[in-house]
């Protein structure tokens, strides 16, 4: 934890709303992005992210610095997401395929007649990326909310099995099984076949 962050936390714990706002700005994008992948809907993600920050603000006095602020915040996120009971209908909107700023610049250049091969390749790559994002969003919709969250925590947040199990208050084996099922569903939806080694490992697991 950096000194500046520690100072913001201490100030926020005394009721300094501006300090908490500055603290939230450091992680708001990360919280929102995870919420977006979890809910797959912009409005739901915004509501969920706001709920996370509201809970964090109310519970900030309990933060003791035994772990990093984000680790503490992430625990609140997991609990908030798991308690999320809104509809699970997949509703893809423009946010799922929004252009990055540099891609928008390239698109503007095309409209202004400044088209070149580099811009064309950039736009083609960006289109492929957006198509992939749409497919991933759709595939995530095939997972249960718990499977989806476990997958995101492992592969987007980079958490260990132990960390996820602690957040879910369950065994590491349970997390591994849930993650295996989640990956299998995603591969089926995306048309990706597991490598031969994985087939061998699955077969070995069945016989053990």
Q: Per residue in 175-207, pLDDT tens?
A: 999 999 998 888 887 777 655 444 344 444 444
Q: Per residue in 84-143, pLDDT tens?
A: 754 443 343 343 333 333 443 433 343 344 445 554 555 555 555 566 666 777 778 888
What is residue 165's predicted lDDT score, i.e. its pLDDT?
Answer: 95
Region 74-83: mean pLDDT is: 92
Give the sign of the dihedral formed by CA 163, CA 207, CA 195, CA 135. Answer: negative
Residue of 68, 40, 70, 66 whose CA lies nearest to 52 = 70
- Distances from the Cα of 40 to the Cαs of 141, 144, 147, 148, in angstroms? 8, 13, 14, 11
For the chain, what percent of residues have pLDDT higher than 90?
A: 45
Residue 71's pLDDT band (cuts 50, 70, 90): very high
**Strand spans (E) along 7-166:** none
- Distances from the Cα of 133 to the Cαs of 1, 69, 95, 99, 156, in angstroms? 33, 30, 10, 11, 14
For the beta carbon of residue 8, count every other beta carbon within 10 angstroms. Answer: 22
Domain boundaries in the chain?
Answer: 1-88, 91-130, 141-192
Asked if residues 41 and 49 have their Cβ atoms less than 8 Å apart, the reply is no
Q: By three-state DSSP, how is residue 64 classified? A: coil
Residue 53 has pLDDT above 80, yes or no: yes
Tokens (6 digits) for 89: 């209908």
Fold of 141-192: Arc Repressor Mutant, subunit A (1.10.10)
Fold of 1-88: Rna Polymerase Sigma Factor; Chain: A (1.10.1740)
Asked if residues 167 and 113 have their Cβ atoms less than 8 Å apart, the reply is no
């Amino acid at each position: 934890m950096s000194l500046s962050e520690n100072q913001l936390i201490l100030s926020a714990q005394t009721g300094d709303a501006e300090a908490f706002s500055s603290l939230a700005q450091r992680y708001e994008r990360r919280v929102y992005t995870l919420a977006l992948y979890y809910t797959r809907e912009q409005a739901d993600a915004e509501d969920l992210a706001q709920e996370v920050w509201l809970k964090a603000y109310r519970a900030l006095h309990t933060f003791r610095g035994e772990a990093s602020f984000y680790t503490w915040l992430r625990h609140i996120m997991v609990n908030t997401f798991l308690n999320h009971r809104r509809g699970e209908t997949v509703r893809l909107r423009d946010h799922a395929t929004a252009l990055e700023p540099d891609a928008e610049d390239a698109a503007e250049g095309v409209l202004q007649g400044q088209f070149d091969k580099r811009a064309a390749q950039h736009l083609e790559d960006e289109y492929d990326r957006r198509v992939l994002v749409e497919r991933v969003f759709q595939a995530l919709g095939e997972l249960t909310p718990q499977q989806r969250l476990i997958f995101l925590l492992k592969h987007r947040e980079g958490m260990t099995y132990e960390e996820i199990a602690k957040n879910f208050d369950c065994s590491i084996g349970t997390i591994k099984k849930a993650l295996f099922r989640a990956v299998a569903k995603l591969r089926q939806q995306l048309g990706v076949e597991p490598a031969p080694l994985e087939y061998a490992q699955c077969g070995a697991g069945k016989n053990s």
